[in-house]
């Protein structure tokens, strides 16, 4: 059952908007960005926004892709397949279909959903009477190109503000009864909106991109800008990124989530949460507490979200205030350098028994390569302090296949985990209960707009097997991992171009396996994953401007090769990367 924290009247249905999460209800409703856009749309007086999710059988599965939609056991008011969650409308009845996409491996579900709704998946084949199809989300912001065949307009960057500009433009267009092309022209002029059909891509004989040009180039410059600038929200106090619906069927069951930081500023060279969300911004203490008060009477659980929650300059005050208000507190991943006793006290008082830390790698040299220094003594100190407070479980995130990684670096992961396990033992003896040490291992996937965007990706299969074998030998250690095969697919889609459109189509609509579809279209997946790019190569996302200039990314890539650290962002002082003006 869902509990709505904010109420809006379903009244003027001038614009009917279906917000689609192309995966399970559980994942969609765990995504605060999804909830935030749902709220932004419904608080408009001229728009009604409904939701749509996949059901359990529709998870990524190349072979079957059986798609029955939107039913979920917690959903009480849902009726038929492929109809919306709240009002049970067919997707064709909506004016706008908006896909919220966070992960590359969900791309296949976009044409699949459209096809099942009897809407032509290819944008070029959709007649005037079909809904406008838009898409946004973090992976769309850094490289929308693989989905260019299916989407009319992409929302690039932070959507909470430019979605309103898009809706206002849409409304004027409907009042003027103009053709769809006129709407697309207007949308293309908006900040953070990318209309892919207005761009031509030409390729060199070696398969690299020759150029990306607007169709109007050389003629009238009325169709689209040469570069699409991502929208950035200056002050996150201006937007309510907090839960609007509580449900037990999410990762953070019945927890009221608040985004207290956007971006990060630590400058980890692999991280899109940092590079695609610059500059780093923090929600104020006052605003955080104000939002938390909206949860009173509905739940006593508060979850603080951000790329590095403990980096918030007022995290201790936030934690202490929330505990005073009788909330039980939980946090996403912590940075060991900034975890202090008041935050651990608040977590312990809230009954938390797990802390999450992402060392990513385990040797000092590799920490410098990725620019994420984590002092082992600090990691031990934080864990020990947590154990003293009866927080007996730790969850660790690691990446493997990072540029220049050697077998010694992989073995060091086992040593690091083993060291933490030794710290646990005396506490386990004392309490007669061993805590859990969970290790989540992901093959490294280089992402656009980060310094590693030029880097080769490694096939991580053997290293994964090595870790599985050795970590499982340590008692009380649970290892989970993303498979090398799925990581490889993600790697192709993350840095892919428009030529992947037909591949996605064949997997989604014709049931081909990923490898068969690649072969059918003469595409070698290794071209996208296993190849080191030259700095002068035109990258498929070169026309997308996320605020960080290319020279900065190049200098960071050069520093990674020499294992040189870069210090964290100094907001108000530094103008190095171009994101702060």
Query: H or E element: which one contains 396?
Result: strand 393-400
Q: For residue 59, how far is the Cα from the chain centroid?
A: 18
Beta-bridge partner residues of 545 = 229
Residue at shortest CB range from ligand SF4: 569
* Contact (CB, 8 A) for 348 and 332: no
Nearer to ligand SF4, 534 or 573 (CB): 573
Nearer to ligand SF4, 486 or 574 (CB): 574
Pick one of 266, 278, 301, 499: the residue that binds ligand SF4 (CB under 6 A): 278
By residue count, the chain amounts to 581
Q: How far is the CB of 167 from ligand SF4 (least distance, A)?
A: 30
579 binds ligand SF4 (CB under 6 A): yes
* Contact (CB, 8 A) for 479 and 418: no
Beta-bridge partner residues of 51 = 19
Q: How far is the CB of 368 from ligand SF4 (least distance, A)?
A: 18
Nearer to ligand SF4, 131 or 451 (CB): 451
Site for ligand SF4 in 548-577 (CB under 6 A): 569-571, 574-577
Distance CA 417, CA 398 (A): 11
Distance CA 372, CA 578 (A): 21
Nearer to ligand SF4, 265 or 303 (CB): 265
Which of 228, 247, 55, 208 is closest to 136 using CA atoms? 228
Taking the CB of residue 516, how many other CB atoms lie within 10 A of it? 15
Compute how many residues bind ligand SF4; rule: CB under 6 A. 12
* Contact (CB, 8 A) for 493 and 503: no
Q: How far is the CB of 395 from ligand SF4 (least distance, A)?
A: 28
Q: How far is the CB of 212 from ligand SF4 (least distance, A)?
A: 25
Q: For residue 385, how far is the Cα from the chain centroid?
A: 31
Q: How far is the CB of 570 from ligand SF4 (least distance, A)?
A: 6
Nearer to ligand SF4, 279 or 403 (CB): 279
Q: How far is the CB of 307 from ligand SF4 (least distance, A)?
A: 13
Residue with tokens 């009247």: 9
Q: How far is the CB of 304 from ligand SF4 (least distance, A)?
A: 22
Is residue 97 reached through a cis peptide bond, with omega within 30 degrees of 0 on the bond before it? no
Nearer to ligand SF4, 425 or 558 (CB): 558
227 binds ligand SF4 (CB under 6 A): no
Query: CA dihedral defined by 261, 360, 541, 484, rounded to 10 degrees?
Result: -130
| DSSP letter for each residue of 81-106 | TTB-TTT--BGGG-SEEEEE---GGG
575 CB contacts (<8 Å, ≥6 apart)?
581
Nearer to ligand SF4, 250 or 566 (CB): 566
498 binds ligand SF4 (CB under 6 A): no
Taking the CB of residue 546, how many other CB atoms lie within 10 A of it? 23
Q: How far is the CB of 347 from ligand SF4 (least distance, A)?
A: 29
Distance CA 60, CA 570 (A): 41
Nearer to ligand SF4, 447 or 463 (CB): 447
Q: How far is the CB of 192 from ligand SF4 (least distance, A)?
A: 18
Which of 365, 361, 352, 324 is closest to 563 using CA atoms? 365
- Residues 236-275, mask of contacts with ligand SF4 (x by CB under 6 A): -----------------------------x----------
Nearer to ligand SF4, 190 or 577 (CB): 577
Considering all CA atoms of the chain, what is the largest pairwise distance in Å, rounded to the nearest integer? 77
580 binds ligand SF4 (CB under 6 A): yes
- Residues 164-203, mask of contacts with ligand SF4 (x by CB under 6 A): ----------------------------------------
279 binds ligand SF4 (CB under 6 A): yes
Q: How far is the CB of 453 from ligand SF4 (least distance, A)?
A: 16
| DSSP letter for each residue of 349-377 | HTT--EEEEEEE--SHHHHHHHT----HH
Nearer to ligand SF4, 539 or 569 (CB): 569
SS3 helix, strand, coil % of the chain, rounded to 5? 40, 20, 45
Site for ligand SF4 in 456-495 (CB under 6 A): none
Residue 436 is classified by DSSP as -
Beta-bridge partner residues of 394 = 355, 437
Nearer to ligand SF4, 300 or 555 (CB): 555
Which of 302, 371, 386, 296 is closest to 341 using CA atoms? 386
Nearer to ligand SF4, 278 or 447 (CB): 278
Nearer to ligand SF4, 428 or 580 (CB): 580
Nearer to ligand SF4, 121 or 547 (CB): 547
Q: How far is the CB of 568 from ligand SF4 (least distance, A)?
A: 8
Nearer to ligand SF4, 121 or 568 (CB): 568
| DSSP letter for each residue of 244-298 | SEEESSSTTTT-EEEE-EES--S--TT-HHHHTS-S-EE--HHHHHHHHHTTTTT
Q: How far is the CB of 230 from ligand SF4 (least distance, A)?
A: 13
Q: How far is the CB of 263 from ligand SF4 (least distance, A)?
A: 7
Q: How far is the CB of 472 from ligand SF4 (least distance, A)?
A: 40
Instruction: Number of helices (H) and strands (E) in the chain: give both, helices first.
Output: 19, 21
Q: How far is the CB of 552 from ligand SF4 (least distance, A)?
A: 7
End-to-end CA distance of the chain: 45
13 CB contacts (<8 Å, ≥6 apart)?
48
Which residues contact ligand SF4 (rule: CB under 6 A)? 265, 278-279, 569-571, 574-577, 579-580
């Amino acid at each position: 059952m869902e509990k709505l924290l904010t109420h809006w009247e379903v009244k003027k249905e001038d614009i009917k908007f279906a917000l689609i999460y192309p995966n399970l209800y559980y994942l969609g409703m765990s995504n605060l960005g999804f909830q935030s856009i749902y709220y932004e749309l419904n608080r408009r007086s001229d728009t009604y926004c409904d939701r749509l999710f996949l059901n359990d059988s529709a998870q990524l599965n190349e072979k079957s892709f059986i798609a029955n939609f939107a039913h979920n056991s917690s959903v009480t008011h849902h009726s038929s397949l492929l109809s919306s969650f709240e009002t049970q409308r067919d997707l064709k009845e909506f004016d706008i279909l908006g896909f919220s996409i966070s992960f590359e491996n969900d791309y296949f579900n976009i044409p699949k959903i459209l096809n099942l709704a009897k809407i032509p998946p290819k944008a070029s084949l959709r007649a005037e009477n079909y809904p406008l199809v838009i898409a946004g989300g973090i992976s769309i912001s850094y490289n929308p190109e693989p989905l260019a065949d299916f989407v009319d307009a992409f929302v690039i960057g932070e959507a909470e503000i430019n979605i309103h500009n898009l809706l206002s433009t849409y409304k004027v267009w409907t009042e003027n009864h103009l053709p769809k092309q006129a709407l697309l022209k207007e949308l293309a002029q908006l900040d953070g909106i990318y209309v892919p059909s207005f761009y031509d891509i030409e390729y060199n004989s070696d398969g690299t991109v020759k150029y990306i040009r607007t169709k109007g180039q050389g003629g009238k410059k009325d169709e689209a800008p040469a570069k699409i600038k991502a929208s950035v929200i200056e002050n996150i106090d201006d937007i309510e990124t907090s839960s609007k619906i509580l449900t037990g069927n999410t990762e953070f069951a019945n927890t009221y989530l608040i985004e207290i930081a956007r971006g990060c500023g630590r400058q980890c060279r692999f991280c899109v949460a940092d590079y695609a969300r610059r500059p780093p911004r923090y929600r104020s203490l006052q605003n955080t507490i104000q939002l938390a008060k909206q949860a009173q009477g509905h739940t006593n659980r508060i979850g603080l979200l951000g790329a590095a929650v403990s980096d918030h300059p007022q995290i201790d005050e936030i934690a202490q205030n929330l505990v005073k208000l009788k909330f039980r507190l939980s946090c996403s991943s912590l940075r060991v350098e900034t975890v202090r006793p008041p935050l651990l006290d608040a977590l312990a008082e809230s009954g938390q028994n797990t802390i999450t830390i992402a060392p990513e790698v385990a040797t000092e040299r590799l920490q410098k390569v990725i620019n994420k220094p984590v002092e082992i003594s600090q990691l031990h100190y934080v864990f020990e302090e947590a154990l003293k407070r009866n927080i007996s479980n730790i969850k660790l995130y690691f990446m493997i296949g990072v540029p220049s990684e050697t077998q010694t670096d992989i073995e060091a992961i086992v040593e690091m985990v083993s060291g933490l396990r030794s710290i646990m033992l005396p506490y386990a003896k004392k309490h007669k209960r061993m805590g859990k040490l969970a290790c989540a291992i992901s093959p490294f996937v280089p992402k656009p707009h980060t310094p590693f965007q030029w880097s080769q990706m490694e096939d991580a299969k053997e290293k994964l097997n090595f870790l599985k074998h050795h970590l499982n030998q340590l008692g009380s250690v649970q290892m989970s991992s993303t498979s090398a095969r799925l990581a490889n697919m993600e790697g192709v889609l993350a840095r892919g171009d428009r030529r992947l459109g037909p591949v996605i189509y064949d997997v989604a609509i014709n049931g081909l396996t990923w490898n068969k579809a690649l072969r059918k279209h003469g595409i070698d997946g290794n071209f996208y994953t296993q190849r080191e790019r030259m700095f002068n190569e035109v990258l498929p996302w070169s026309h997308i401007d996320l605020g960080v200039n290319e020279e900065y990314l190049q200098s960071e890539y050069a520093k990674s090769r020499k294992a040189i650290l870069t210090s964290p962002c100094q907001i108000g002082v530094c103008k190095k990367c171009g994101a702060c003006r």
